[in-house]
Amino acid sequence: MALAATCVLTFPAPTTAQSLKPEALLGHVKYLASDDLAGREAGEPGADSAASYIAMLFESYGLEPLGTDGYRQSFQITTTVSIAADSRLMLRTSRGSLELELFKDWVPFNFSAAGSFSGRTFQAGYGLRSEDYEGLASLEGPKIVTLRGGVPEDFDPHGSGVDPSPRRKATAARDQGAEAVLITVSRLQAPQPGDPPHGVGIPAVQILESEEILAWLKDDEIEVLLDAKVEPLRVSAYNVVGRLPGRDPALADQLIVVGAHYDHLGMGGPGSLAPDTVEPHNGADDNASGAAVLLGLAEYFAANPDLRPARSLVFAAFAAEEMGLLGSEHFVSNAPVPLENVAAMVNFDMVGRLREGKLQVFGTETAEEFPALLDSLDAADSALTLSRIGDGYGPSDQTSFYARDIPVLHLFTGTHSEYHRPEDDWHLINAWGLAQVGEFAAALIRELGDSPDEPTLVKQQRPQVAAGGGYGPYLGTIPDFGEVEGGGLRLSGVREGGPAEQAGLQAGDVVIEFGGKEVLNIYDYTYALRDHAPGDTVVIKVRRGDEVLELTAVLGRRQ
């Protein structure tokens, strides 16, 4: 529970002059993490209010707007599916007909396609083995498959390596030739915002395992009438983007992007580590804290033109990071500035819980100059202790930039037990620590922006592990989690020296088939990859522009 709004906050006295004020930064966090914004789910009113707040402040600081509508860079996202109230599911046997009630007895999964089918069903048990589908191919009429949810009592999903989730079962049924699939569940889970569909391409519905319904489903002669009227729910989301010109006209065309996402998980649901809790997930640390530092830096550099770096600064508050880096991926794919002019990107994600002065910096090996630069900043700032992680890829927005060959640094104060839970609220933020991170970042940005030479990109090669080490197959692709018209998985990039690059895969390729299996989305791709072993040779079909190419890759071993 958050502290009462009337509490008095005190901060340790600064040992040096502070240009980013703890009180101001915490004020941004308190607004963004307020219950009124209901967890800032991308595409929901709370996130729109957060975008308006950030845009208002960018304007008050005097930043140049870089959006498609003022400071807002609008893009479309699919947050879930909508289900028409006249969708129907009826069971028919020699005993008669049973009409199931939508949302009480059955409901389409969020990954369901629309479709109408009528006919006998093929009962494939739990659908965990290919043998469960023997005879499906010879079934006359529509191939409607009924599956039991979960696993048998004597089945060990961990030891078997089999994924018994409804999505995996529906995908396997589709790959076996099913045209529609019905899966029994112990509890219905209606589609909800924040859970992008990534559809399986066939109607897929869940049926409540009541005693009455199960008795009907056990009839070998059962027929169904299914009319699943679903469609993707498309809404607008907004990056908020502004620019401050550099101090030196000779370098002002070159840019440093300063970024942080401002969205979070809304009222919970997908992504929440308290999935049965329906209440605001305010995300004070994740990532109102990063957005607060972004705003503090924008205000600081705008108010102090003499301290502004030679290169120009682009401040970008990203939407829909929690749905798969969608905002930052849209930014780099529809860049409001020339990407070739971006010298580096600095990202803030979860910087509000500084403890014992320990700050983690990711991406430290993405440019030749970064280790020495951090050495000098580390020596100058005795209040912080830096731990360094070289990799430029990770589950935050810097990945979208590094995949476009831009050196990146990502600042992070560590995870905690409130991560992705309602308890991540403003009263747990270390406001003075937030200002310390901001001060360090200001010095970092000045150094990046004033250096006469741009950082020298280092493309990182993932080392391959000898036989017997590591686990699972490795290809070395960086997926784009956004939708692709016509289906498939678009690649944001490939790892330097990895099997994907050696096979000829490139950023922008859309994977449509992997090892003979259709790929409609990230899940299909992941399942197809997991069905192979390190050392396997697989044929991968991709769309590249107007061409369809077949590329052959030898899978490595994941570390």
pLDDT given for residue 28 in this prediction: 98
pLDDT given for residue 382 in this prediction: 74
Residues of the chain with pLDDT under 70: 1-18, 157-161, 461-471, 559
Distance of CA 475 to the CA centre of its chain: 20
In terms of Cβ atoms closer than 10 Å to its own Cβ (0-12, 13-18, 19+), residue 212 is exposed
DSSP helix/strand/coil, 142: coil
Helix, strand, coil share of the chain (percent; to 5): 25, 25, 45
pLDDT given for residue 471 in this prediction: 60
- In the chain the domains, ranked by start, together with CATH numbers, are 22-78+237-450 (3.40.630.10), 85-228 (3.50.30.30), 473-557 (2.30.42.10)
Cα separation of 177 and 157, whole Å? 24
pLDDT given for residue 415 in this prediction: 94
Element (H, E) at 314: strand 312-318
**Residue entry with tokens 């595409």:** 43
pTM, to two decimals: 0.89
Cα separation of 192 and 129, whole Å? 30
pLDDT given for residue 11 in this prediction: 35
Cα separation of 25 and 38, whole Å? 20
The residue among 337, 322, 335, 333 whose CA lies nearest residue 260 is 322
CA distances (Å), 35 to each of 40, 454, 471, in order?
9, 43, 42
pLDDT given for residue 163 in this prediction: 86
Element (H, E) at 72: strand 72-83
pLDDT given for residue 13 in this prediction: 38
DSSP assignment letter at 261: E
CA distances (Å), 26 to each of 316, 352, 374, in order?
20, 9, 27
Element (H, E) at 82: strand 72-83
**Residue entry with tokens 């192979």:** 532
Cα separation of 524 and 379, whole Å? 48
Cα separation of 127 and 166, whole Å? 10
In terms of Cβ atoms closer than 10 Å to its own Cβ (0-12, 13-18, 19+), residue 180 is buried
81 in Cβ contact with 235 (< 8 Å) = no
Cα separation of 516 and 541, whole Å? 9
pLDDT given for residue 7 in this prediction: 32
pLDDT given for residue 18 in this prediction: 47
Question: What single-letter amino acid sits at 424?
Answer: D
DSSP helix/strand/coil, 169: helix
Cα separation of 246 and 249, whole Å? 7
pLDDT given for residue 557 in this prediction: 87
pLDDT given for residue 15 in this prediction: 36
Cα separation of 331 and 366, whole Å? 20
pLDDT given for residue 159 in this prediction: 61
pLDDT given for residue 160 in this prediction: 61
What tokens were used for 174? Answer: 């589709």
Cα separation of 265 and 421, whole Å? 9
Cα separation of 198 and 552, whole Å? 26
What tokens were used for 246? Answer: 């550099």
The residue among 549, 556, 544 whose CA lies nearest residue 509 is 544
